[in-house]
Amino acid sequence: MVEDVTCRFEGTLALDHLSLEVDRSEFVSIVGPSGCGKSTLFNTISGLLRPACGRVMLDGRDVTGETGHVGYMLQKDLLVPWRTVVGNIVLGAALTRGVTRRDREEAEALATRYGLGDFLHHYPHALSGGMRQRVALMRTLALHKDVLLLDEPFGALDSQTRLEMQMWLLSVCEDLNATILFVTHDVDEAIFLADRVVVMSGRPGRVLEEIPIPLPRPRDLEALTAPRFIELKRQALGLLHGAGSEVPT
């Protein structure tokens, strides 16, 4: 997907010849110290940023600098306050081609299927933090992209809500055939959700190591205390410590 990408900002090297290959329908978590270029990597993949060198490939096609080929969800839900749950889910269609009855029916079906059926016509101010993040993710899913970039989507939630959202996302992933890249500062979250964890170095960002996650799916809370999970966490934290960075918690 990403081949030998280098990015610079006003003389600062953010990413240094970074390469990352992701298989179709794979869930890949990305961890690393603050400022290592995780968001820069996502901006490059999404086409919002053109790298100084290297390229982004999708299904064998060079999409470097092109937008519109991935779904991108940020940490802030960015819900439009004057739109209802359904109105926010169909926002992508509203901004590009206009909303059809089919778009609204699909939005209602998504919301109902994933736990917000009783809140279809509620406005964001009436929703909890977890509900708002669900709407933001459903808005991303409604774009029908094969690749989803999720940039710390649960980072602002309290620990209990965050765990609930992780479990919810796992259930959603069982229904999806999407390829997911997930940035997080939480090592437990990275391991719990992913098929593979990519550990990045401090700036300039490089891939330090890739850790396969052989935990069986579907996953439940028992996975968080399994001996294999603890071993994987120790490995990831050891790499992050070795990178000379602040260790995510």
**What is the share, in percent, of the chain residues with pLDDT greater than 70?**
96
Indicate whether 66 and 100 sit together in one domain. no
Indicate whether 249 and 204 sit together in one domain. yes
Report whether 221 contacts 192 (CB < 8 A): no
Answer positive or negative: Cα dihedral of 23, 192, 70, 120. positive
Indicate whether 151 and 38 sit together in one domain. yes
For residue 172, the model assigns a pLDDT of 87
Distance of CA 22 to the CA centre of its chain: 13
What's the rounded Cα separation, in Å, for the pair 3 and 61? 12
209: amino acid identity, one letter = E
SS3 of residue 16 by DSSP: strand
Task: Print the domain residue range for 139.
Answer: 79-144
Q: Mean pLDDT throughout 87-113?
A: 82
For residue 241, the model assigns a pLDDT of 81
- Confidence (pTM): 0.90
Indicate whether 57 and 86 sit together in one domain. no
Indicate whether 61 and 171 sit together in one domain. yes
Show which of 91, 109, 144 is a domain's final residue. Answer: 144
The pLDDT tens digits of the residues spanning 160-200 come to 889 999 999 998 888 888 899 999 999 999 999 999 999 99
pLDDT of 98 strictly over 80: no
pLDDT of 135 strictly over 80: yes
For residue 157, the model assigns a pLDDT of 86
90: amino acid identity, one letter = V
SS3 of residue 6 by DSSP: strand
Q: Which of 246 and 229 is assigned the larger pLDDT? A: 229
Largest CA distance in the chain: 54
Indicate whether 1 and 55 sit together in one domain. yes
- CATH code assigned at 175: 3.40.50.300
Show which of 102, 122, 144 is a domain's final residue. Answer: 144
Indicate whether 63 and 155 sit together in one domain. yes
For residue 249, the model assigns a pLDDT of 33
Indicate whether 41 and 160 sit together in one domain. yes
Average pLDDT value over all residues in the chain? 89
pLDDT of 210 strictly over 90: yes
Reported for 58-67, long-range contacts at CB under 8 A and 24+ positions apart, including other chains, are 58/1, 58/147
Contacts (Cβ under 8 Å, ≥6 apart) of 41: 2, 5, 15, 18, 20, 30, 205
For residue 116, the model assigns a pLDDT of 87
Indicate whether 133 and 156 sit together in one domain. no
Q: Please name the residue that has the structure tokens 């390229």.
A: 55
Confidence of residue 247 (pLDDT cuts 50, 70, 90): very low
Confidence of residue 102 (pLDDT cuts 50, 70, 90): confident
What's the rounded Cα separation, in Å, for the pair 140 and 179? 13
Indicate whether 125 and 186 sit together in one domain. no
Q: Please name the residue that has the structure tokens 């401090």.
A: 202
For residue 96, the model assigns a pLDDT of 67
pLDDT of 133 strictly over 50: yes
Q: Which of 77 and 21 is assigned the larger pLDDT? A: 21
Give how many domains the chain has, as a whole number.
2
What's the rounded Cα separation, in Å, for the pair 42 and 137? 16
The pLDDT tens digits of the residues spanning 18-31 come to 999 999 999 999 99
Indicate whether 117 and 207 sit together in one domain. no
Contacts (Cβ under 8 Å, ≥6 apart) of 242: none
Indicate whether 140 and 151 sit together in one domain. no
Using CA atoms, how far residue 202 sits from 5, 22, 120, in Å, is 16, 22, 43
For residue 150, the model assigns a pLDDT of 95
pLDDT of 44 strictly over 90: yes
Using CA atoms, how far residue 43 sits from 56, 153, 192, in Å, is 11, 15, 25
Report whether 134 contacts 171 (CB < 8 A): no
**What is the share, in percent, of the chain residues with pLDDT greater than 90?**
58
